Amino acid sequence: MFLWGSATSSFQIEGNIKNDFTDYEQKLGYPPYEEGSNHWKMWKDDIDMIRQLNQNAYRFSIEWSRLQPEPNTVSLEALNRYDATVDRLLEKGIEPMITLHHFAHPYWFHDVSPWHTGDSVKRFLDYSDLIFSRLADRVKYWITFNEPVVWSLAAYADAKFPPALSDLNLTMKALFNMMKAHAGAYEILKSYNSESYVGIAKHFIIFKEAREWFYPDKSTARRIDNFFNFMLLDAFITNRITVNFPPLLKFDKPINLNNKIDFWGINYYYRLHTKFKLNLKNPFLLYAKDPATDTGWEIYPKGLKKIIKLVSRYNKEIIITENGIATGNDLVRKKFIKKHVKIVRKQLEKGYKIKGYFYWSLMDNYEWLHGKSKRFGLVEVDYENNYKRTIRPSGHYYAGLIEKFFHDRKRGKINEKKSTGA
């Protein structure tokens, strides 16, 4: 079954959460979180809406801070809610895909067991085991970490996410421990259900040299590409996390990953242009070109085709776990969806092992540093009118593309070749 769905994260939509982001809200100058998109109260209607949009899958995350609001505690109320969420999705014919870690942590985590320390791995595995023990019998698709490289850089290098540090060495220690935690969670989940399908949602960016004739630009783009896009994928083959990015960073450490991954999730949004700078502390410049989204990202659909080809070299199945646009112009969103879905269909017909596509996001949400000002949703949320939901025309359009896909497949109009990793 090909998965057509949309994605969300718990913190961005649920509301009424106390976690590390709300704890750091004033310190880091985040926009007020308040009730998110009020999904914690409106969850049943939101699930019904997914079915209205012809989607057969839904990617969402568990809010760690709800399950363990204090260290060494468990909220059965929260666990029961996520249990009920899975049941309702299955009743509606919607395949759940659960993300364990989507940036947010309990408020106490960074004081008790931050990711750059070894204690973090056990904390995460205890949390994961708690979830698997309740849901592994009914949930097939799992993502351990959403964009671990992005989170590590934002939290430990750029000081934009809690714990708001600026140390590249700690960045790599944190990322290393997250991958150890992934491997451990993979083994635990397989012990509960050997048929589980486990992956990582990896953010990919197309890095293009600003000046094609200038070798330092090309070299810089290639080094950034290797670090940001493919360092982790390589690690699952080599059992080493290796970075060689002078003068900024050098890291090389063995890790027992042993190919413990069933699929790679592709989160793809945009292209960046890379310009070399003769500056040891800041040796490159990254920037976007028009056409840009409301988040300043360049729209470049061809990049998804390239990423699918490159990731396929690693001989794992692929799921497009995020692909979306922040815009106040729904016609632009419709065009964005049309172009990217067309690429997915074409690559599927060529034999690439693509198992699904998830638009980001189901509804408007709290977009981290941007608050509620950036609108990604297929569904509009009216924050001034009791969080009223309205399906946008682009949402109906995407629903039509899904319906057409299954209609075409049934009639033999989709010529899916034998899956290939090349």
Q: Which residues are catalytic?
A: 322
Determine if residue 251 is left, alpha or beta; phi over 0 gives left, psi from -120 to 50 gives alpha, anything else beta: beta
Tokens of 360: 């980001």
Query: 341-348: which pairs have CB atoms within 8 A and are 24 or more residues apart?
Result: 341/398, 341/401, 343/301, 343/302, 343/304, 343/305, 343/308, 344/304, 344/308, 344/320, 345/405, 345/414, 346/305, 347/305, 347/308, 347/309, 348/2, 348/414, 348/416
Supply angle C-alpha 62, 324, 31, rounded to 5.
65
CA distance 285 to 354: 33
Supply angle C-alpha 253, 257, 262, rounded to 5.
145
Query: Pairing relation of β-strands 57-61 and 3-7?
Result: parallel
Query: Pairing relation of β-strands 249-254 and 240-245?
Result: antiparallel
> Concatenated DSSP letters for 212-262?
TT-HHHHHHHHHHHIIIIIHHHHHHHHSEEEEEETTTEEEEEE---TT--S
Task: Give 411: exposed, middle or buried? Use CB within 10 Å, 0-12, 13-18, 19+.
Answer: exposed
Hey, is 181 helix, strand or coil? helix
Cβ pair 179, 231 in contact under 8 A: no
Residue 72: CB partners within 8 Å, gap ≥ 6?
A: none
What count of Cα atoms within 13 Å lies in the side-chain half-sphere of residue 206? 22
Tokens of 110: 């960074």
